[in-house]
Structure 1
């Protein structure tokens, strides 16, 4: 399977594609690719029985696609956790390293790493880590972009994208950060939020706000 196809499987999983229907637009924003590219790749994945695509409704992972996503996500996020917790990497810097390591990780090594790390349920940016049987805790699918002005929320997880993690790291926004949504600027402008820990106001881009999940 190509790395690009793996990226599609992972992003559909991250966007909640086992529980709800994901739109082409959401995938395009998450992967920062053109809408036409999404249409083409989704068609190939339908042929390979990795996803189900209902026109005008959305995309969900099949059982096969879900199992592949679990395997990819589990190994990737175990390495991210190890790099941050034990090698003291910055959260924003681990994605590319974990991307390489996950493809060289046997099931036996993944199991040993999982035990060594204390069987974590979440990675450093809040993503779920499936256990040996593919089970994982429920995760919020509510995105920051949809939070109404005046509401206070906590960031639950952030899509595993290198550029996004660096962008949010520079803003001082990460998993478990509590914020108040102050204003949605019109015409796909930024969402203005206040970080509760220090009262700082932050502008988060429209695109980023669709890849930040809150509770």
Structure 2
């Protein structure tokens, strides 16, 4: 993910991307607004803003889909959440607490820091919230 540090988007927009990934890469704006309990016009405005990033493609009346770059970015967002959740669970937080706290922190933690945390945890394959992927997302040149 050249040129991306994980801090480009707001926490809400990050959540939209993770939701799209969860839905197979595509969803209708109405589905997004219902999932997040937001007015459709609020979601449409955010989607229009995000279209310029190259992470999504908005097809009016058809929905929103992740671009290949968007899928890669959303995969990183999920990975970041799971790495942070796992790290927090090592400090005595229950899985539920760790997941909740990771959600609060994740949009403020860069890709570089996530990669370093991941390395310090031994590149785990499973977090408290699910599988942790490392393909194309983990840039840890010291491991080569």
- The TM-score normalised by the length of structure 2 is 0.69
Q: Distance in 2 between matches of 1:103 and 1:89?
A: 20
| 1:78 lines up with 2:78 in the alignment | no
- Residue 102 of structure 1 and its aligned partner are, at CA, apart by 5.3
Deviates more, 1:1-10 or 1:116-125: 116-125
The correspondence for 1:5, drawn from 4, 13, 35, is: 13
Asked if the contact 2:29–2:63 (Cα under 8 Å) also holds between the matched residues in 1, the reply is: yes
Q: Given that residues 111 and 132 in structure 1 are in contact (C-alpha distance below 8 angstroms), is that contact kept between their aligned partners in structure 2? A: no
Shift of 1:51: 0.9
* Higher strand content, 1 or 2: 1
Deviation at 1:79, TM superposition (A): 0.8
CA deviations on 1:76-113 (whole Å, 9 max, x unpaired) are 210111222x2232232224422325523452x43343
Task: Name the Cα RMSD after superposition.
Answer: 2.7
The answer to whether residue 90 in structure 2 is matched with residue 90 in structure 1 is no
8 Å contact 1:78–1:123 — kept in the other structure? yes
Is residue 38 of structure 2 the alignment partner of residue 33 of structure 1? yes
Counterpart CA distance in 2 for 1:13 and 1:94 is: 22
1-structure distance, mates of 2:69, 2:115:
21
1:173 matched residue in structure 2:
none
Which structure's CA Rg is the greater one? Answer: 1
Matches within 5 A, 1:1-215: 1-17=9-25, 21-84=26-89, 86-98=90-102, 99-100=104-105, 103-107=108-112, 109-126=113-130, 128-134=131-137
Distance in 2 between the 1:25 and 1:50 partners?
19
Identify which of structures 1 and 2 has the higher relative contact order when contacts are C-alpha pairs closer than 8 Å and 6+ apart. 2
**CA–CA separation in structure 2 for the residues paired with 1:77 and 1:50:** 21
TM-score, normalization: structure 1? Answer: 0.50
What runs of 5+ residues in structure 2 fail to find an aligned partner?
1-8, 139-144
3-state SS of the aligned residue for 1:94?
helix
The answer to which structure has the higher helix fraction is 2
